[in-house]
Amino acid sequence: MRRTHLWISLLVGAGVWGAYFLHFIQAVRADDLSGLIWWFLAALIVAVGLEAAATGVVARLFRLRATALDDGPSLNAALKAGHVALMLVVVLLLGLSLILALASRFGWSLDLSTARMQAIAAHVLLGMVVVAELVRAAFTLALLPRR
């Protein structure tokens, strides 16, 4: 199941985001980026929807053949927590991308050319990593079996 889910993610991601970036390149060439935020939101919704639907169908079809990890409950907890942390990083980065895209769409200048704004941007990214690491540690502890 894990391998199948990875393939679903790979194919859906390559298809949806490949189409999105092709549109982006065409928009840059045409010098018309005005509606790009809506294309981004649509691609995001389609990618999440397709991956969730495909994974759900595959999980239902192969439910009987699924087996638990046999490397122990600690590894299982770490894998689950690592996945949660990874998804958190993805959500945080997509949120930051959305903020930057909205800022450019509405003409708000974040002026990332100044040293002050570069430092703020670096610390926002660092904060995302720290939050993800703390969530990973907390989820690993919460998922470990009680002895």
For the chain, give the DSSP string.
-HHHHHHHHHHHHHHHHHHHHHHHHHHHHHT--TTHHHHHHHHHHHHHHHHHHHHHHHHHHTGGG----SS-HHHHHHHHHHHHHHHHHHHHHHHHHHHHHHHHHTT----TTSHHHHHHHHHHHHHHHHHHHHHHHHHHHHHSPP-
In this prediction, residues 113-127 reach a mean pLDDT of 75
pLDDT-based confidence at residue 116 (cuts at 50, 70, 90): low
In Å, how far are 19, 69, 126, 136 from 72, measured between CA atoms? 41, 7, 32, 18
Average pLDDT of the chain, as a whole number: 80
- Report the C-alpha gap between 82 and 18 in whole angstroms: 27
- Is the pLDDT assigned to residue 70 strictly greater than 50? no
pLDDT-based confidence at residue 49 (cuts at 50, 70, 90): very high
- Residues 51, 56, 98, 24: what is their CA dihedral angle, to the nearest 10 degrees? 20
What is the value of pTM for the model shown? Answer: 0.53
Number of Cβ within 10 Å of residue 12's Cβ equals 20
pLDDT-based confidence at residue 2 (cuts at 50, 70, 90): very low
pLDDT-based confidence at residue 58 (cuts at 50, 70, 90): confident
Closest CA to 67 of 1, 131, 133: 1
Question: What is the per-residue pLDDT for 64?
Answer: 55
Question: What is the per-residue pLDDT for 147?
Answer: 57
Q: What percent of the chain has pLDDT over 70?
A: 85
